[in-house]
């Protein structure tokens, strides 16, 4: 038996019938066709599926969708619209932080919480803020650069 | 060499980055087809057992289950699933099968599969399949497996030896007799996983006429086609492999067919619906690995540090099937152990050995990291014992530019910038001062270490049976842009931007004016060998450059007709074709492309004007070729570490990496490769290891909670990349390649730095905190 | 892995409803942040669950911080508690602050104080810090309320002493007397790891800088549960917390731990680093004393 829930995803309200044990990630990916929350481990360790729920970064593979009933969800798709990118997105491009790109969406969502809370992070703040996100391509150097760049841009 | 080019040599923005920051569509994991079913595989819990009986009747009854696949439904064909060799390559071992109904040889071997309307139902159905096994004795240690009386895994491989390559040069006994000192050591490396972030997944549609369309995480479009067709006993043309625009990492881990693809295909045929099979991370951890190798290394040295003889024996644990292990051993012997240094007398024996462990696979470096750890550790031991300078010692014995290639007599080492890598790297880290007086505070001891390594680029020849050639097609558009189509897979390392830059440079177009087609498949692009063996920039790059040159030739012919000059008098840059020496006389590439595709009579302000037959036809260029060589990039790696002598924890404080990769096509992309390669090498050195329960053979480290890879916090705060830009004459614009050097040297460099810090030599990877404390005698 | 037997996923609004649901004849689990529970499910360890009861809407998400200490509802997230602790800027909360910093942000934002305790997972960080703070639990059932010192909740590896129908509603952290400070240290393979060994220390001194109270707690596989080291505490109390005392206290933890060997570390290694980490955590706490 499915259960009805309401999610506001990237500003749009959805009434969804979900399996009771479905994770938020599976609902976002399979039912709402969002590609941003990616499955990398399904055990809350890699961070590829990171989204914001009510303004905070979470592993969407570790949240049951039913438990998120009524929540506001933001995925990488919702960071920007139209021709202009969010400064975090633009900084990931400009700093060369994107390689295979599979970790990128989750990485940006963790970076977003950091920059929401700490507009002027130092390097250690940044490295710890993305410690829950694994990347196997970059060695993280250019990702750290990207977050620094985004901080500068957001601070104007 | 062109000292300054318009597009090549610049950190051009990756055209794929926009997609990837806005949600990341375009990966196989995101393919959703209407009516798609979901499949799961049932895997053996035994490391070695006979299958007595399989009964799937209960599973078939479960609502939502659409098909069950058992071994009897799967063609029983033995072959080599490795993409870069033919399925029946004589140099490989043909022992792999998709799903056999008789014997399981490792924990995790697929024995049945289910397709259902949801993945959860498929998974529930697996529990309803009853399999009766008769357990057989298992063997997990390759040296035990080689002993008489050990359980035998395959009928035609006595003592479980799958292959046993060797070579001899000179007289090894004489070489050791000539030595003043003899050094012996045993160096062991562990089983590690590539840890690509996108799990292995495929979505397959197979119709009643056996036509297959497959979307899949792969490093080789055509390898997938060939092996999938072979596994199912079909002609290759029945299989269409769709090129995913993006793959979420590979690193060698998506370089062979596994059960996943044929199982999904057969389930699709059975159900008449597309079938998606996504592996869990746990399944990925037991699907491919870097083979562990134990190296016995003996070296004879003169007082002045020159090598007289070198003997090595390598025992490679390939697990239950040989697959890559039959080739990894060769690359390991030739490039891992014997390429770095001259030894007048040399002998090597390699053993690829079956065990009841998981099947090994390809992983960046492909045998070289295992060899380099032995060679570059031992040379440090020699320097310490004989009081020799580790840089001078390496230079004294290293191969040199202009020398014959040691394993390919047809070639010379046309570019080999190792001395300059060592010099500039040493200068950057301040080697001389650093090594003399490392800084230490209390329980934390600092040390410096270095290692060097060359790598083999898959080019035109080399190891037997390897596919080498590449193809490309390029087409000019009427707006002055170009479309490039190749089968070369971008697995994250920047193949799209690099190949587009090469095409743009050759065609005289601005960066960004060449676009990689996102709609390619095995039906519509020419063959390319895999994205592996550091080959894409060099080999695919050469094909792209040649295709672009062909298009440029046609561009000049049309332009010459338009301008009433000879094509030989034309040049093109920044999208403008002009007459050499008369820059005012020019047409744009767009004008030429429009002209070539214009109607026969063009309407102009002056009235209708005819064009000529000679100008007609879309400007295209194609190539399918092997490049002329197998060049040799090389690198020198320097690290500074800090060892906490109370906890055994090692921090890498700094890494300096000097590479000769020939001409650098895209510096930012190249740096990204190096920084990521260092991360993998550092994980190999310090923490990563797939571990198994010694009793049951079950994997203990099958997710990222238990298998640790470095996060941003463990990485050095400073990583410097230095490029020594030799100009490889056979490379596209002088390029060689970069994929693998950077992953090979971190382990020995870090081991050497740990020795420098605490005076303890570690010969088994990973060098965990626990091993450090044991080495220090604290536990 | 799925919860194949799951019939109901409840999101009640009141504690009474939770109690009623716990009283039904179903295999029922309390769900708060869910990181541990979902982790078990993902590894196929929870297939029998028939009902989940999400307690995040029953008013257990409040934190009260005053002169008596801190009271946190069981459903308070690490992120929320971390914010409260940071605002307090009190040295006695130093260890808790350290421990709350350790999980990745995605875990901090959902994992709860009650959940991490009920999990009885010896590799977690926050329970070790709470153990050093003499945490007391409030436990509800349809029979009423009872209070339990944290150590009495632990009943071995991944096992707690809660009776059927009971669940944790609140965690109380009494403010220690006088000049007090705490610290927490973790030994891990990476910054996204469970503890191989972790240590929380809590010290109080009198006007003469003599130690009047000491708590030393260790986790991370030093035993089936996080444990206190009475031997270390005995050495510290009455000492001047000089280097020799801290060293001796570190050595003494050996008698109170019984480390496990697993694929992450051997018992011998855990024993060796437990001593070092204890000494260092004590040094860190001493440095924070006013």
Chain segment B218-236, per-residue pLDDT in tens:
999 999 999 999 999 999 9
Give pLDDT, residue B614.
86
Same domain, C122 and C200: no
Same domain, C41 and C95: no
For residue B732, pLDDT over 60 is answered with yes
In this structure, are residues B679 and B672 in contact, taking their beta carbons and an 8 Å threshold?
Answer: no
In-domain check, residue C1: no
The C-alpha angle with vertex B188 and arms to B186 and B192, in degrees rounded to 5, equals 170
Residue B434's nearest CA partner among B647, B654, B650 is: B654
In this structure, are residues B293 and B332 in contact, taking their beta carbons and an 8 Å threshold?
Answer: yes
In this structure, are residues B260 and B69 in contact, taking their beta carbons and an 8 Å threshold?
Answer: no
Q: What pLDDT, in 10s, does the model give residues B371-386? A: 999 999 999 999 999 9
Q: What pLDDT, in 10s, does the model give residues A129-152? A: 999 999 999 999 999 999 999 999
DSSP result, B207-219 = -TT--EEEEE--S
Structural domain count, chain C? 3
Give pLDDT, residue B401.
96
Residue C30's nearest CA partner among C60, C63, C70 is: C60
Q: Is B310 helix (H, G, I), strand (E, B) or coil?
A: strand
Same domain, B440 and B548: no
In-domain check, residue C153: yes
Residue B344's nearest CA partner among B397, B293, B282 is: B397
Same domain, C279 and C229: yes
Give pLDDT, residue B624.
98
In this structure, are residues B109 and B342 in contact, taking their beta carbons and an 8 Å threshold?
Answer: no
Q: Is B313 left (phi over 0), alpha (psi -120 to 50) or beta?
A: beta
Under the banding of pLDDT at 50, 70 and 90, the label for residue A92 is very high
Half-sphere exposure of B659 (CA within 13 A, CB side): 31
Under the banding of pLDDT at 50, 70 and 90, the label for residue C1 is low
In-domain check, residue B435: yes
Work out the number of other CB atoms within 10 angstroms of the CB of residue C89: 9
Q: C169 is in which domain, residue-wise?
A: 63-174
Question: Tokens 């090994």, residue?
Answer: B360
Residue C175's nearest CA partner among C68, C95, C265, C100 is: C68
CATH of the domain at C268: 3.30.390.50
For residue C235, pLDDT over 50 is answered with yes
User: For residue B209, what are the contacts with CB-CB under 8 A and spacing of at least 6?
Assistant: none
Q: Do A132 and C105 touch (CB under 8 A)?
A: yes
Same domain, C165 and C224: no
Q: Which of A57, A67, A134 sits opposite C31 (nearest CB)?
A: A67
In-domain check, residue B653: yes
Same domain, B648 and B690: yes
% chain A with pLDDT above 90: 97
Map out the domains of chain A with their CATH numbers. Answer: 3-78 (3.10.20.30), 87-154 (1.10.150.120)
Same domain, B499 and B640: no
In-domain check, residue B444: yes
Q: Which of B23, B248, B668 sits opposite A76 (nearest CB)?
A: B23
Same domain, C231 and C167: no
Q: What is the mean pLDDT of residues C32-48?
A: 91
Question: Tokens 């990118």, residue?
Answer: A85
Burial of B614 (0-12, 13-18, 19+ CB in 10 A): exposed
**Rounded distance, CA B498 to CA B472, Å?**
14
Work out the number of other CB atoms within 10 angstroms of the CB of residue B441: 8
In this structure, are residues B139 and B150 in contact, taking their beta carbons and an 8 Å threshold?
Answer: yes
In this structure, are residues A110 and A50 in contact, taking their beta carbons and an 8 Å threshold?
Answer: yes
Give the tokens for residue B752. 């050497």
Query: Helical H runs in C191-242?
Result: 230-236
Interface contact A82, partner B, CB < 8 A: no
For residue C32, pLDDT over 90 is answered with yes
Under the banding of pLDDT at 50, 70 and 90, the label for residue B206 is very high
The separation between CA B715 and the C-alpha centre of its own chain, rounded to angstroms, equals 22
Q: Do B647 and C277 touch (CB under 8 A)?
A: yes
Cis geometry, peptide bond prior to residue B766 (ω within 30 degrees of 0): yes
Same domain, B444 and B582: no
Using CA coordinates, name the residue in chain A closest to C12.
Answer: A67
Structural domain count, chain B? 2
Last residue within a domain, chosen from C124, C157, C174: C174
Residue B669's nearest CA partner among B541, B552, B520, B551 is: B541
> How far is the CA of B344 from the CAs of B175, B303, B306, in angstroms?
7, 16, 10
User: For residue B747, what are the contacts with CB-CB under 8 A and spacing of at least 6?
Assistant: B189, B369, B372, B373, B451, B681, B684, B685, B765
Last residue within a domain, chosen from B610, B625, B640: B625
> How far is the CA of B554 from the CAs of B517, B540, B614, in angstroms?
21, 21, 10
In-domain check, residue C69: yes
Under the banding of pLDDT at 50, 70 and 90, the label for residue B127 is very high
Q: What pLDDT, in 10s, does the model give residues B263-304? A: 999 999 999 999 999 999 999 999 999 999 999 999 999 999
Residue C245's nearest CA partner among C269, C210, C270 is: C210
Interface contact A46, partner B, CB < 8 A: yes
Q: What is the mean pLDDT of chain B?
A: 96
Mode of pairing for the β-strands spanning C28-31 and C51-54: parallel
**Rounded distance, CA B445 to CA C231, Å?**
31
In-domain check, residue B644: yes
Same domain, C67 and C118: yes
Paired strand residues for B658: B636, B722
In-domain check, residue C154: yes
Q: Which of A24, A57, A130 to mutate to test the interface with C (most CBs of C within 10 A)?
A: A57
For residue B1, pLDDT over 60 is answered with no
Same domain, B414 and B543: no
Interface contact B704, partner C, CB < 8 A: yes
In-domain check, residue B402: yes
Same domain, B587 and B476: yes
Using CA coordinates, name the residue in chain C closest to B282.
Answer: C43
**Rounded distance, CA C102 to CA C82, Å?**
11
**Rounded distance, CA B335 to CA B340, Å?**
7
The separation between CA C8 and the C-alpha centre of its own chain, rounded to angstroms, equals 29
In-domain check, residue B4: no
Same domain, B707 and B737: yes
Same domain, C284 and C183: yes
Half-sphere exposure of A154 (CA within 13 A, CB side): 24
Residue B498's nearest CA partner among B523, B534, B460, B469 is: B534
Q: What is the mean pLDDT of residues B494-520?
A: 97
Chain B residues with beta carbon closer than 8 angstroms to that of A137? 249, 492-493, 672, 676
**Rounded distance, CA A90 to CA B304, Å?**
56
**Rounded distance, CA C241 to CA C26, Å?**
53
In this structure, are residues B634 and B421 in contact, taking their beta carbons and an 8 Å threshold?
Answer: yes
In-domain check, residue B340: no
**Rounded distance, CA A135 to CA A46, Å?**
8
Q: Which of A74, A111, A137 to mutate to test the interface with B (most CBs of B within 10 A)?
A: A137
Give the tokens for residue B81. 């699933």
Same domain, C22 and C79: no
Last residue within a domain, chosen from B583, B607, B625: B625
Same domain, B573 and B662: no
Q: B774 is in which domain, residue-wise?
A: 398-458+631-779
**Rounded distance, CA C222 to CA C45, Å?**
23
Same domain, C114 and C187: no
Same domain, C226 and C258: yes
Residue B43's nearest CA partner among B191, B263, B311, B237 is: B263
ipTM of the complex: 0.98
In-domain check, residue C231: yes
Give pLDDT, residue C81.
98
Same domain, B745 and B689: yes
Q: What is the mean pLDDT of residues B398-426?
A: 94
The C-alpha angle with vertex B527 and arms to B573 and B469, in degrees rounded to 5, equals 75
In this structure, are residues B551 and B244 in contact, taking their beta carbons and an 8 Å threshold?
Answer: no
Interface contact A134, partner B, CB < 8 A: yes
Q: Do A62 and C110 touch (CB under 8 A)?
A: yes
For residue C145, pLDDT over 50 is answered with yes
In-domain check, residue C109: yes
For residue B3, pLDDT over 70 is answered with no
Under the banding of pLDDT at 50, 70 and 90, the label for residue B603 is confident
Give the tokens for residue B766. 């990973």
Q: Which range has the worst mean pLDDT, B70-84, B392-406, B592-606?
A: B592-606
B142-171 burial: b if 16+ Cβ within 10 Å, else e: beebbeeebbbbbeebeebebbebeeebee
B331-359 burial: b if 16+ Cβ within 10 Å, else e: bbbbbbbbbbbbbbbbbbbbbbbbbbbbb
Interface contact B249, partner A, CB < 8 A: yes
Question: Tokens 């921090």, residue?
Answer: B651
Q: What pLDDT, in 10s, does the model give residues C185-208? A: 999 999 999 999 999 999 999 999
Using CA coordinates, name the residue in chain A closest to C103.
Answer: A132
User: For residue C257, what are the contacts with CB-CB under 8 A and spacing of at least 6?
Assistant: C218, C222, C223, C227, C229, C270, C271, C274
All chains having 3 or more CB pairs closer than 8 angstroms to chain A: B, C
Q: What is the mean pLDDT of residues B743-758?
A: 97
**Rounded distance, CA B107 to CA B109, Å?**
6
pTM of model > 0.90: yes
**Rounded distance, CA B584 to CA B561, Å?**
17
Same domain, C159 and C190: no
Same domain, B616 and B646: no
> Is residue B122 within a helix (H) or strand (E), and if so which, with residue range?
helix B119-126
Last residue within a domain, chosen from B625, B648, B683: B625
CATH of the domain at B582: 3.30.365.10
Percentages of chain C per state (helix, strand, coil), in multiples of 5: 35, 25, 40
The C-alpha angle with vertex B17 and arms to B16 and B19, in degrees rounded to 5, equals 70
Laid out side by side, the sheet with C51-54 consists of C8-10, C51-54, C28-31
**Rounded distance, CA C228 to CA B268, Å?**
58
In-domain check, residue B101: no
In-domain check, residue C57: no
Q: Which of A53, A66, A131 sits opposite C104 (nearest CB)?
A: A131
Same domain, B673 and B738: yes
Interface contact B701, partner C, CB < 8 A: yes
Using CA coordinates, name the residue in chain C closest to A111.
Answer: C105
Paired strand residues for B735: B662
Q: What is the mean pLDDT of residues A51-65?
A: 98
């Amino acid at each position: 038996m499915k259960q009805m829930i309401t999610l506001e995803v990237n500003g749009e309200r959805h009434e969804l019938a979900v399996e009771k044990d479905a994770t938020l990630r599976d609902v976002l990916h399979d039912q709402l066709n969002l590609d941003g929350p990616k499955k990398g481990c399904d055990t809350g360790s890699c961070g590829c599926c990171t989204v914001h729920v009510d303004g905070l970064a979470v592993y969407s593979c570790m949240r049951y969708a039913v438990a998120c009933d009524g929540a506001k969800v933001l995925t990488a798709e919702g960071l920007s619209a139209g021709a202009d990118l969010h400064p975090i997105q633009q900084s990931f491009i400009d700093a060369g932080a994107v390689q295979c790109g599979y970790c990128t969406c989750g990485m940006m969502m963790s970076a977003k919480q950091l920059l929401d809370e700490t507009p002027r992070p130092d390097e250690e703040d940044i490295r710890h803020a993305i410690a829950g996100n694994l990347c196997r391509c970059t060695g993280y150097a250019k990702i750290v650069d990207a977050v620094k760049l985004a901080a500068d841009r957001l601070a104007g | 060499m062109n000292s300054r080019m318009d597009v090549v040599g610049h950190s051009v923005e990756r055209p794929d980055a926009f997609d990837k920051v806005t949600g990341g569509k375009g990966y196989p994991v995101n393919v959703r087809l209407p009516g798609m079913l979901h499949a799961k595989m049932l895997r053996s819990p035994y490391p070695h057992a006979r299958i007595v009986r399989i009964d799937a009747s209960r599973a078939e009854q479960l609502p939502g289950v659409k098909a069950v696949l058992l071994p009897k439904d799967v063609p029983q064909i033995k072959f080599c699933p490795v993409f870069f060799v033919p399925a029946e390559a004589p140099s490989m071992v043909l022992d792999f099968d998709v799903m056999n109904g008789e014997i399981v040889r490792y924990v995790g071997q697929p024995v049945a599969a289910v397709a259902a309307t949801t993945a959860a139902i498929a998974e529930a159905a697996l529990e309803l399949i009853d399999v009766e096994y008769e357990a057989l004795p298992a063997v997990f240690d390759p040296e035990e497996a080689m002993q008489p009386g050990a359980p035998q895994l395959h009928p035609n491989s006595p003592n479980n030896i799958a292959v046993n390559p060797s070579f001899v040069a000179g007289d090894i006994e004489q070489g050791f007799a000539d030595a003043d000192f003899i050094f012996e050591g045993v160096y062991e490396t562990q089983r590690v996983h590539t840890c690509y972030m996108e799990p292995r997944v495929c979505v397959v549609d197979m119709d009643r006429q056996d036509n297959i369309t497959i979307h899949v995480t792969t490093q080789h479009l055509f390898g997938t086609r060939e092996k999938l067709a072979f596994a199912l006993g079909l002609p290759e043309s029945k299989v269409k492999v769709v090129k995913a625009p993006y793959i979420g990492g590979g690193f060698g881990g998506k370089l062979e067919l596994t059960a996943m693809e044929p199982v999904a295909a057969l389930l699709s045929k059975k159900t008449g619906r597309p079938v998606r099979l996504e592996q869990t991370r746990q399944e990925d951890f037991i699907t491919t690995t870097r083979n562990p190798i134990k190296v016995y290394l003996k070296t004879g040295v003169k007082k002045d540090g020159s090598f007289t003889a070198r003997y090595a024996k390598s025992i490679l644990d390939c697990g239950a099937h040989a697959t890559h292990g039959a080739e990894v051993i060769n690359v390991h012997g030739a490039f891992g152990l014997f390429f770095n240094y001259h030894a007048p007398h040399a002998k090597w024996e390699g053993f690829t050995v079956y065990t009841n462990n998981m099947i090994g696979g390809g992983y960046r470096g492909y045998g070289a990291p295992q060899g380099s750890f032995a060679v570059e550790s031992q040379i440090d031991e020699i320097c310490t014992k004989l009081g020799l300078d580790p840089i001078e010692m390496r230079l004294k014995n290293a191969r040199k530019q202009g020398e014959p290639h040691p394993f390919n007599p047809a070639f010379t080492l046309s570019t080999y910038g190792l001395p300059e890598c060592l010099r500039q790297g040493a200068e950057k880290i301040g080697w001389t001062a650093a090594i003399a007086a490392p800084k230490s505070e209390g329980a934390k001891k600092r040390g410096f270490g270095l290692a060097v390594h060359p790598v083999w680029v898959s080019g035109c020849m080399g190891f037997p049976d390897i596919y080498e050639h590449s193809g490309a097609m390029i087409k000019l558009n009427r707006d002055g842009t170009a479309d490039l189509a190749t089968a070369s897979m971008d697995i994250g390392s920047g193949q799209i931007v690099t190949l587009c830059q090469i095409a743009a440079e050759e065609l005289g177009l601005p960066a960004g004016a060449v676009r990689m087609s996102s709609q390619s498949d095995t039906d519509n692009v020419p063959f390319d060998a895999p994205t592996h063996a550091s080959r894409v920039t060099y080999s695919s790059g050469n094909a792209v450059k040649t295709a672009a040159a062909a298009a440029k030739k046609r561009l000049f012919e049309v332009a010459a007709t338009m301008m009433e000059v000879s094509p030989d008098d034309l040049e093109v840059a920044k999208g403008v074709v002009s007459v050499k020496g008369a820059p005012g006389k020019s047409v744009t590439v767009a004008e030429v492309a429009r002209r070539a595709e214009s109607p026969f009579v063009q309407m102009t302000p002056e009235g209708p004007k005819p064009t000529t037959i000679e100008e007609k036809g879309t400007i295209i260029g194609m190539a399918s070729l092997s490049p002329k060589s197998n060049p040799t990039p090389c690198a020198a790696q320097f690290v500074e570490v800090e060892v906490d002598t109370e906890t055994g924890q090692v921090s890498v404080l700094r890494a300096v990496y000097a590479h000769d990769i020939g001409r650098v096509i895209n510096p930012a992309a190249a740096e990204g490769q190096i920084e990521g390669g260092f991360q993998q090498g550092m994980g190999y050195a310090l923490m990563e290891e797939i571990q198994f329960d010694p009793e049951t053979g079950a994997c203990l480290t099958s997710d990222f909670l238990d298998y640790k890879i470095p996060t941003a916090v463990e990485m050095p705060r400073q990583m410097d990349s230095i490029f020594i830009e030799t100009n490889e004459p056979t490379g596209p614009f002088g390029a060689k390649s970069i994929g693998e050097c950077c992953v090979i040297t971190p382990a020995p460099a870090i081991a050497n730095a740990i020795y420098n810090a605490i005076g303890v030599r570690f010969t088994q990877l990973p060098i965990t905190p626990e091993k450090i404390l044991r080495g220090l005698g604290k536990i | 892995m799925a919860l194949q037997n799951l019939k109901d996923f409840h999101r009640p609004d009141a504690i009474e409803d939770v109690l009623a649901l716990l009283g039904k004849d179903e295999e029922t689990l309390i769900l708060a942040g869910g990181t541990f529970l979902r982790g078990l499910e993902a590894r196929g360890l929870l297939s029998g669950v028939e009902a989940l009861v999400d307690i995040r809407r029953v008013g257990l998400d409040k934190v009260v911080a005053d002169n008596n200490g801190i009271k946190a509802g069981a459903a308070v997230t690490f992120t929320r508690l971390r914010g409260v602790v940071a605002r307090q800027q009190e040295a006695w909360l130093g260890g808790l602050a350290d421990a709350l910093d350790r999980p990745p942000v995605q875990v901090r934002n959902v994992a709860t104080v009650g959940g991490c305790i009920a999990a009885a997972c010896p590799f977690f960080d926050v329970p070790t810090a709470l153990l050093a703070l003499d945490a007391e639990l409030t436990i509800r059932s349809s029979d009423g309320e009872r209070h339990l010192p944290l150590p009495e909740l632990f009943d071995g590896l991944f096992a707690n002493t809660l009776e059927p129908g009971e669940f944790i509603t609140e965690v109380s952290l009494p403010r220690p007397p006088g000049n007090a400070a705490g610290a927490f240290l973790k030994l891990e393979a990476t910054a996204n790891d469970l503890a191989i060994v972790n240590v929380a220390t809590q010290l109080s001194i009198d006007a003469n800088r003599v130690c009047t109270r000491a708590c030393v707690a260790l986790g991370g596989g030093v035993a089936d549960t996080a444990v206190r080291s009475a031997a270390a505490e005995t050495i510290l109390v009455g000492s001047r917390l000089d280097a020799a005392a801290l060293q001796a206290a570190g050595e003494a933890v050996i008698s109170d731990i019984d480390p496990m060997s697993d694929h992450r570390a051997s018992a011998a290694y855990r024993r060796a680093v437990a001593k070092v980490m204890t000494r260092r955590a004590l040094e860190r706490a001493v440095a924070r004393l006013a």
